[in-house]
Copies of this chain bind each other. A is one copy, B any other.
């Protein structure tokens, strides 16, 4: 028996979801809440296997609720339900610990399928959302500041990031170590940093996730 809870402020949707779950073999609905606060309180004490969570809620939003519940019960699985599929919501939800994404427009069959996929260790989501995840996954996340650097300087920075010494870089590029030193000094001035690690963090540092 898979225990499912849901947090959704719209009464019609909440009740139809609850009915849907109750009338599906192998599923039980352990709670249906209209706001994040009461849901959070109940689920902290009574963890469910899977939670269907609306994003837009009065008071605390669904993403924050997931974040808090996930830290308390890491094994709990969350499927976000929303009308929007904008990038920010998707990523914040994923970052908070949600692993599935349903649209409210999805029919009953999709919802049941999504829950089954979830139980089977999958991440049900629309192809549109999957695309967004992939796109941002591929993005190198390089700071714009890099455009201040010349080609040679960018090359230097790459080697610097890999941990090569000035002497090694010099040998690799067949220039003198003093030139390398000069280039790197120019880089530091442009990036407003004082050390190799700061430069690397500024350019390649990953703030995303």
A→B interface (CB under 8 Å): 94-95, 99-100, 114, 117-118, 120-128, 130-131, 133-134, 137-138, 140, 160-163, 193, 195-198, 200-201, 206, 209
Contacts and interface: CB of A to CB of B under 8 A. Distances in A.
Contacts of A133: 123, 130, 133-134, 137
B127 A209 contact: no
A122 B85 CA distance: 12
Contact of A163 (B131, B162, B195): B195
Instruction: Rank and list the top 6 A-B pairs by shortest CB-CB distance, nearest first.
Output: A122-B127, A123-B131, A117-B127, A123-B130, A163-B198, A163-B197
A12 B134 CA distance: 31
Contacts of A95: 138
A201 B120 contact: no
A94 B139 CA distance: 12
